[in-house]
């Protein structure tokens, strides 16, 4: 990560342990290294497909948390089936962990809105450090460090097509990649202002850009993963040369592209769900009393059934969910989670997975809840705004919850 801070030892740009980014991990795949982010159910890391070039199909995932440094090997790597190397389209991969993720590592939800452009985001990664005025350090040989910075999504990458198109090799699919530029506050170095008339002079001292090693790293809007770092580029026209030093080095005046996670949410959701261990095949087989595992975390599933009618077969219905402590406590007995569960076309149900923490001693009546609310595409029933998994069946207009 390149920031405006000159010294990489300056803690202002570090994403130190305990700062809320311990779910941002380093990935090593066949000698290439990159960054990834632990997703909401704790089973897999989202990263960039290009780290797995040449049919590499495994990686080591390195967590830095309050529990120390822990390296976990992958059990499975899934490159997005539409990954298109030449155009950096669908440059996403999911990497499943062969062991439970550290409890101290945050799990992150994904951004599901469509209003990313114009929003400020936080980028976090293990890429080569440097400063905007001189670019990445050429002599950095130390252990990779986790750095954070901010930027703003300026545009859809497809709007830059004519610059890449001149060489005839690059065409971003509209709606699936986002770009941001590295600003130093000067109009002459405002890359996307001068190139595609998307002016913005940046965020001052907090501005930053990805560099080598940040590939696959997250761009957060709030605490949700909205982008996955994919590439950098220095672009110019006969009238505008925004790069400060005519070198490809993530300096001021360059741009970077991220895969737009919201455009891939169905692939992410369905891929994660397809790998759930010991998942119930029927509503009746959902385990409502769960034995703790022998260590780490154990998955517990909640089944959300949609019994309504889709007037449009492509309709996606959804609910929001959030765990709630009962006699079992969040952070002690289970990992709190919240998010949106989507039930896609050709699905009539979906599972919410919650991780139970093994090393505690449950009381016989220890329990926690999952509240389900904000149904989209169908109602819960007249006057009903929230359902809770209290292990009693709530049957209503189109939804069953239990
Ligand atoms: Ca910028
Ligand atoms: Ca700008
Ligand atoms: Ca440069």
For 272, the enclosing helix (H) or strand (E) is: helix 265-274
Contacts of 48 (CB under 8 A, 6+ apart): 34, 91, 92, 93, 215, 216, 228, 229, 230, 259
Residue 320 pairs in a beta bridge with 340, 373
Q: What is the mean pLDDT of residues 277-292?
A: 86
pLDDT tens-digit profile of 208-246?
999 999 999 999 999 999 999 999 999 998 889 999 999
Under the banding of pLDDT at 50, 70 and 90, the label for residue 302 is very high
d(CA 166, ligand 3 centre) in Å: 20
pLDDT of residue 361: 56
- With a cut of 60, say whether residue 360 has pLDDT above it: no
Q: What is the mean pLDDT of residues 9-22?
A: 94
pLDDT of residue 299: 87
User: With contact defined as beta carbons under 8 Å apart, do 64 and 22 qualify?
Assistant: yes
d(CA 367, ligand 2 centre) in Å: 50
Sign of the CA dihedral with 135 first, then 141, 147, and 153 last: positive
Residue 282, CA distances (Å) to 279, 286, 354, 369, 390 in order? 9, 7, 18, 21, 18
Tell which residue, 178, 129, 124, 184, has the closest CA to residue 149: 124
d(CA 149, ligand 3 centre) in Å: 18
d(CA 172, ligand 3 centre) in Å: 22
d(CA 48, ligand 3 centre) in Å: 23
Under the banding of pLDDT at 50, 70 and 90, the label for residue 124 is very high
Nearest ligand to the CA of 188 is 2
Q: How much is the mean pLDDT over the chain?
A: 90
pLDDT of residue 364: 57
E strands within 234-364? Answer: 255-260, 297-306, 317-325, 338-343, 349-357
d(CA 251, ligand 3 centre) in Å: 4
d(CA 137, ligand 3 centre) in Å: 12
Ligand 3 is a single-atom ion; what residues have CB below 5 A from it?
Answer: 243, 245, 247, 249, 251
Distance of CA 75 to the CA centre of its chain: 19
d(CA 193, ligand 2 centre) in Å: 6
pLDDT tens-digit profile of 57-71?
999 999 999 999 999
**What percent of the chain has pLDDT above 90?**
72
- With a cut of 90, say whether residue 390 has pLDDT above it: no
d(CA 224, ligand 1 centre) in Å: 20
Nearest ligand to the CA of 120 is 1
d(CA 93, ligand 3 centre) in Å: 28
- With a cut of 60, say whether residue 133 has pLDDT above it: yes
d(CA 90, ligand 2 centre) in Å: 25
Q: What is the mean pLDDT of residues 328-345?
A: 92
Nearest ligand to the CA of 135 is 3
Contacts of 295 (CB under 8 A, 6+ apart): 100, 358, 359
d(CA 29, ligand 3 centre) in Å: 27
Distance between CA atoms of residues 73 and 291, nearest Å: 26
d(CA 258, ligand 2 centre) in Å: 16
Q: DSSP H helical segments within 136-243, as ranges?
A: 161-165, 191-196
d(CA 56, ligand 1 centre) in Å: 33
d(CA 85, ligand 3 centre) in Å: 23
Nearest ligand to the CA of 253 is 3
Q: Name the residue with higher pLDDT: 301 or 401.
A: 301
Nearest ligand to the CA of 196 is 2
pLDDT tens-digit profile of 63-115?
999 999 999 999 999 999 999 998 899 999 999 999 999 999 999 999 999 99
Under the banding of pLDDT at 50, 70 and 90, the label for residue 392 is very low
Nearest ligand to the CA of 198 is 2
pLDDT of residue 326: 86
d(CA 169, ligand 1 centre) in Å: 25
- 288-401: which CATH architecture? Sandwich (2.60)
User: With contact defined as beta carbons under 8 Å apart, do 259 and 227 qualify?
Assistant: yes
Contacts of 106 (CB under 8 A, 6+ apart): 20, 21, 22, 23, 38
Domain ranges of the chain: 2-266, 288-401
d(CA 199, ligand 2 centre) in Å: 6
Under the banding of pLDDT at 50, 70 and 90, the label for residue 162 is low
- With a cut of 80, say whether residue 380 has pLDDT above it: no
Nearest ligand to the CA of 181 is 1
Q: What is the pTM of this model?
A: 0.93
- 2-266: which CATH architecture? Beta Barrel (2.40)
Nearest ligand to the CA of 133 is 3
d(CA 233, ligand 3 centre) in Å: 9
d(CA 208, ligand 3 centre) in Å: 13
Q: What is the mean pLDDT of residues 169-195?
A: 93
Nearest ligand to the CA of 200 is 2
User: With contact defined as beta carbons under 8 Å apart, do 268 and 260 qualify?
Assistant: no
């Amino acid at each position: 990560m390149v920031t405006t801070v000159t010294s990489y030892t300056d803690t202002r740009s570090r994403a130190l342990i305990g700062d809320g980014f311990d779910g941002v991990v380093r990935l090593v795949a066949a000698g290439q290294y990159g960054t990834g982010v632990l997703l909401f159910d704790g089973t897999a890391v989202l990263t960039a497909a290009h780290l797995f070039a040449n049919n590499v199909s495994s990686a080591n995932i390195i967590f830095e948390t309050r529990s120390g440094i822990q390296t976990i090997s992958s059990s499975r790597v899934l490159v997005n089936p539409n990954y298109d190397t030449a155009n950096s389209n669908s440059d996403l991969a999911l990497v499943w962990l062969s062991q439970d993720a550290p409890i101290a590592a945050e799990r992150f939800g994904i951004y599901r809105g469509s209003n990313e452009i114009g929003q400020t985001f936080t980028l976090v990664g293990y890429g080569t450090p440097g400063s905007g005025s001189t670019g990445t350090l050429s002599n950095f040989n130390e252990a990779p460090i986790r750095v954070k910075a901010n930027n703003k999504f300026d545009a859809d990458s497809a709007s830059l097509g004519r610059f890449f198109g001149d060489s005839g090799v690059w065409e971003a699919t509209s709606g699936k990649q986002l770009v941001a530029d590295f600003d130093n506050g000067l109009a002459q170095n405002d890359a996307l202002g001068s190139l595609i008339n998307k002016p913005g002079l940046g965020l001052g001292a907090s501005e930053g850009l990805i560099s080598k090693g940040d590939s696959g790293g997250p761009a957060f809007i709030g605490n949700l993963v909205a982008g996955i770092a994919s590439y950098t580029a220095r672009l110019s026209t006969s009238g505008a040369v925004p790069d400060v030093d005519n070198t490809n080095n993530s300096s001021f005046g360059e741009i970077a592209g991220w895969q737009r996670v919201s455009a891939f949410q169905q692939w992410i959701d369905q891929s994660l769900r397809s790998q759930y261990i010991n998942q119930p095949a029927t509503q009746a087989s959902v385990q409502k009393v769960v034995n703790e595992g022998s260590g780490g975390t154990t998955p517990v599933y909640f089944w959300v059934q949609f019994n309504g009618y889709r007037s449009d077969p492509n309709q996606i219905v959804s609910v929001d969910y959030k765990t709630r402590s009962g006699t079992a406590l969040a952070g002690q007995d289970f990992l709190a989670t919240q998010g949106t569960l989507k039930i896609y076309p050709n699905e009539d149900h979906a599972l919410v997975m919650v991780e139970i923490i093994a090393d505690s001693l449950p009381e016989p009546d220890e329990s926690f809840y999952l509240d389900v609310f904000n149904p989209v595409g169908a109602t819960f029933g007249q006057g009903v705004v929230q359902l809770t998994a209290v292990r009693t069946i709530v049957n209503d207009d189109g939804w069953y919850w239990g």
